[in-house]
Structure 1
Amino acid sequence: MKFKFLVLGIVSSVVFGFVVKEKQAYQYKGYHLVWSDEFNIDGVPSEKNWNYESGFVRNNEDQWYQRENAYCKDGFLIIEAKKENKANPHFVSKNHRDWAQKRDSIRITSSCLITRGKHSWQYGRFEMRAKIPVAKGMWPAFWTLGIKGNWPANGEIDIMEYYRGKILANVAWKSDKSDTEWDSATQMLSDFKKANWADEFHVWRMDWDANFIRLYVDNQLLNETKISDAMQGKNQKIHPFRQPHYLLVNLAVGGDQGGEFTAAGFPSKYIIDYVRVYQKK
């Protein structure tokens, strides 16, 4: 149930157990807001901002991505992982070499929203306020990919990733040392002193310029990557972190990293208050 009341002229509401004020983007000194989605209109997420991935996409994950599992309600974007049982329209054979085509059925559905083809940015402060699901097998993420090149040459930045009790902040690229080089930082959920930390909203942030990528949660620095370290390849044609990136926000289930899940974890909701991009003036 939703209760509205007036406090100093600001409309507020109680939603998901939290008092939520009508949102106004914070103005950081030296930055200006260049893009945001506050999810203030109930229903389908803004078509001006988001496209969707579809089907079984990556990492042997168990969920089938579909746009129906993402919706806006009471000022939040909700990505919901649900148990379903329907045929996989791309099924070929249980012996097929493509993992996405050897599954005869869809057991879990969820959503992945992306700004690819609609919005991308080079450098800035990227910010999300959200409450993440931490049930067994859940794998929520807030991340970016470069617009040019195939993965990992285009560059990947995981501003927020969670699975198996761990918060991760990662940067990945292609190098001469290995096909994919990772600069990863991990913090166990149990390391946060507050017992109900996972039941609250938190702010994940990336500060990115021509020299560094810095990843934070609630102003706590988790990882810092020197961009020149990702520009050492002798045959490197793309500078992965000196090009525009687009955003992805998704709730994966299981797969290579999410691990086993149980029926008790469904439905599971990834609740996002806002996503904002600032750039320096």
Structure 2
Amino acid sequence: MKIYTGYYRTFLLSFLCFLLSASAFGQKWKLVWSDEFNNTGKPNEKFWSFEKGFVRNEELQWYQADNAYCKNGVLVIEGRKEKVLNPGYNKEQTGWKNQREYAEYTSSSIKTEGKKEFLYGRVEVRAKIPVASGAWPAIWTLGKEMEWPSCGEVDLMEFYRINNVPSVLANAAWGTKTRWKAKWDGSNKPLSYFTKKDPDWANKFHIWRMDWDKDFIRLYLDSELLNEIDLSQSINQDGVNPFHQPQYLLLNLALGGNGGDPSQTKYPLTYEIDYVRIYQQK
């Protein structure tokens, strides 16, 4: 009987703590926008647009809309091994985008630019990421003003290989006196840091979070603080602080580049996003 009573006492105390925590959260934060991906088919065009073709970092994938779809309450971004003709191919030009006659892989990158932008608040994304060789999934933001990196970039999550070690990163970047050269405030942990705690980590959904106010950006994974960026330091050479201006959100799965060699990986790779939620303080 004592065990029985003790069990329920523990349960009730835990439940009470949950209610108090939820109440405190509700008093401080207001949900201002979310996408739960409960539709079937393409992501909601009121919120998202697609990047197209070869875009950045000399990555191997061709971005196209076909690789992103909503099903069973999640957004799925697929990395596929398939050959696509590059209409911009021109062997006489020197740019990497023009030098490739074909792309050997496809994927998707979606963004809220011009549709949903925000200044300060909390961003939560619940997702399950691919960790196979070649995979480079990301949850990140960019500023709507100025070119990169002066516009500011925040990586709530990047997963790729550092010295061939699979790693989870949480970063921010801003401009320097040299065009297109960023100042980084980065943090990374090897994937093994998480799988030692939970060997099945990679097969589960996790919550990536950014808390952003006028003083700090704090980046969390499953409530564990990964990085804290002091915004008194994130000032471009022109004196502008990009993190005092609105940002928009990107979700993408790159292949190759920092992700490593994708050639021996089994396809399709799937990057699943359960929801995106943005809160602001009341």
TM-score between both structures, scaled by the size of structure 2 = 0.86
**Structure 1 residues 82-101: aligned runs within 5 Å:** 82-93=80-91, 96-101=93-98
The answer on whether the counterparts of 1:149 and 1:238 sit within 8 Å (CA) in structure 2 is no
Q: Distance in 1 between matches of 2:104 and 2:219?
A: 34
Any idea what the Cα deviations from partners look like across 1:88-128, whole Å, max 9, x if unmatched? 111011x6311011000121000000000111000010010
Q: Which residue of 2 aligns with 1:186?
A: 188
The answer on whether the counterparts of 2:142 and 2:249 sit within 8 Å (CA) in structure 1 is yes
The answer on whether the counterparts of 2:80 and 2:106 sit within 8 Å (CA) in structure 1 is yes
Return the offset for 1:262: 2.6
Q: Distance in 2 between matches of 1:28 and 1:79?
A: 32
Identity of aligned residues (%): 51
Q: Which residue of 2 aligns with 1:199?
A: 203
Return the offset for 1:181: 0.5
Backbone CA RMSD of aligned residues: 1.6
Q: Which residue of 1 aligns with 2:100?
A: 103
Q: Which amino acid aligns with 2:235?
A: M
Of 100, 111, 114, the residue aligned with 1:114 is: 111
Of 153, 157, 165, the residue aligned with 1:156 is: 153
Q: Distance in 2 between matches of 1:220 and 1:177?
A: 34
Cα 1:86–1:119, aligned 2, differ >3 Å: closer, same or farther? same
**Structure 1 residues 1-281: aligned runs within 5 Å:** 28-93=26-91, 96-164=93-161, 165-176=166-177, 179-192=181-194, 193-231=197-235, 233=237, 236=238, 238-255=240-257, 257-281=258-282
Cα 1:166–1:28, aligned 2, differ >3 Å: closer, same or farther? farther
Q: Distance in 1 between matches of 2:94 and 2:178?
A: 28
Q: Which residue of 2 aligns with 1:17?
A: none
- Secondary structure of 2:244's partner? coil
Q: Which amino acid aligns with 2:83?
A: N
The answer on whether the counterparts of 2:85 and 2:103 sit within 8 Å (CA) in structure 1 is yes
Any idea what the Cα deviations from partners look like across 1:109-150, whole Å, max 9, x if unmatched? 000000001110000100100000000010000000000000
Cα 1:177–1:52, aligned 2, differ >3 Å: closer, same or farther? closer
Cα 1:28–1:223, aligned 2, differ >3 Å: closer, same or farther? farther
Q: Distance in 1 between matches of 2:178 and 2:187?
A: 19
- Secondary structure of 1:198's partner? helix
Q: Distance in 2 between matches of 1:237 and 1:148?
A: 14
State the aligned residue count.
252
Please say which of residues 34-43 and 170-179 is displaced more in the overlay.
170-179
TM-score between both structures, scaled by the size of structure 1 = 0.87
Cα 1:106–1:176, aligned 2, differ >3 Å: closer, same or farther? closer
Any idea what the Cα deviations from partners look like across 1:137-181, whole Å, max 9, x if unmatched? 100000000000000000000000001210000000013489310
The answer on whether the counterparts of 1:55 and 1:64 sit within 8 Å (CA) in structure 2 is yes
The answer on whether the counterparts of 1:169 and 1:186 sit within 8 Å (CA) in structure 2 is yes
- Rg (Cα) greater in structure: 2
- Secondary structure of 1:54's partner? coil
Q: Distance in 1 between matches of 2:208 and 2:171?
A: 13
The answer on whether the counterparts of 2:134 and 2:265 sit within 8 Å (CA) in structure 1 is no
| Higher share of residues assigned helix | 2
- Secondary structure of 2:81's partner? strand
Q: Which amino acid aligns with 2:218?
A: R
Q: Which amino acid aligns with 1:188?
A: P
Q: Distance in 2 between matches of 1:39 and 1:269?
A: 16
Q: Distance in 2 between matches of 1:189 and 1:112?
A: 23
Q: Which residue of 1 aligns with 2:9?
A: none
Return the offset for 1:266: 1.3
